[in-house]
């Protein structure tokens, strides 16, 4: 048996969701139900119906016959299914079966879009996760949170990869520089740099202090 069924997350709020036997039986019936109208031993079966019996359902689900009876009565009481006895067995009809069925052409038409959407969503999730990890690493290293956010916007615009390797490479350059952490980020923001290298910033020239020899005490015999 092949094919698909739709199961919305809203089923979490269904009144029988926490009833293990009801939930097991109902999902089993949805999976086993006819996905199109057909004839079976002289009987016209509608979409969403199944010809079965309590014993068969018990064998297929692993529940007892009594558990099947109880669960089925609950599902009937809330109009999830209907049950009619026939000469060929019990015909169980899934009410509102269309909610759970996936048409073949629906799969064909929507699959490229769905796949593309899933790919896009996964990419966005990955990027957000990388940004959050990169941001947390910078924060733990002692950078100013506001400057971090501003710089990450620039990195995003330049499509930079916020990987662990990128973070470690950035920190190596930071440690080489004479600038403070915040000065480096401020510079990256002002210059719209997606990264930083210590060689990009000139080190301040050492000032040579002039010595006034007249002020040196005459402590030495040759002075």
The pLDDT of residue 220 is: 45
The pLDDT of residue 223 is: 42
The pLDDT of residue 204 is: 65
28 neighbors 57 (Cβ within 8 angstroms): yes
The pLDDT of residue 3 is: 62
**Which backbone phi and psi does 49 adopt, to 5 degrees?**
-110, 160
The alpha carbon torsion through 16, 20, 23, 27 (nearest 10 deg) reads 170
Q: Rounded to the nearest 5 degrees, what angle is found at the Cα of 192, between the Cα atoms of 157 and 173?
A: 105
For 159, the domain range is 104-200
> Do residues 161 and 186 share a domain?
yes
Q: Report pLDDT digits (tens) over 67-99.
A: 999 999 999 999 999 988 877 788 899 888 887
Number of compact structural domains in the chain: 2
What's the pTM value of the predicted model, to 2 decimals? 0.45
39 neighbors 45 (Cβ within 8 angstroms): yes
CATH of the domain at 94: 1.10.10.10
Report yes or no on 221 lying in a domain: no
> Do residues 157 and 114 share a domain?
yes
Domain-ending residue, one of 76, 99, 122: 99
Mean pLDDT score, 131-154:
89
The candidate with the shortest Cα–Cα distance to 2, out of 35, 25, 42, is 35
The pLDDT of residue 107 is: 46
| 193 class by beta-carbon count within 10 Å (0-12 exposed, 13-18 middle, 19+ buried) | middle
> Do residues 48 and 65 share a domain?
yes
Q: Report pLDDT digits (tens) over 108-129.
A: 455 555 566 666 666 667 667 7
């Amino acid at each position: 048996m092949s094919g698909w069924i739709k199961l919305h997350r809203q089923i979490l709020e269904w009144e029988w969701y926490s009833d293990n036997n009801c939930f097991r039986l109902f999902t089993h019936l949805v999976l086993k139900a006819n996905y199109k109208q057909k004839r079976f031993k002289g009987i016209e079966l509608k979409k969403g119906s199944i010809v079965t019996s309590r014993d068969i359902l018990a064998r297929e689900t692993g529940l007892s016959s009594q558990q099947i009876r109880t669960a089925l009565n609950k599902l009937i009481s809330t109009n999830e299914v209907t049950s009619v006895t026939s000469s060929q067995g019990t015909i169980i009809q899934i009410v509102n079966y269309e909610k759970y069925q996936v048409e073949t052409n629906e799969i064909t038409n929507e699959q490229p879009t769905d796949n593309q959407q899933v790919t896009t969503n996964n990419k966005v999730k990955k990027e957000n996760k990388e940004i959050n990890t990169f941001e947390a690493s910078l924060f733990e290293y002692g950078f100013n949170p506001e400057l971090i956010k501003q710089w990450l916007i620039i990195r995003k615009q330049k499509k930079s990869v916020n990987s662990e390797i990128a973070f470690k490479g950035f920190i190596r350059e930071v440690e080489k520089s004479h600038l403070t952490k915040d000065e480096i980020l401020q510079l990256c923001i002002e210059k719209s740099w997606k990264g930083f290298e210590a060689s990009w910033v000139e080190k301040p020239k050492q000032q040579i202090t002039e010595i006034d020899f007249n002020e040196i005490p005459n402590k030495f015999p040759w002075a």
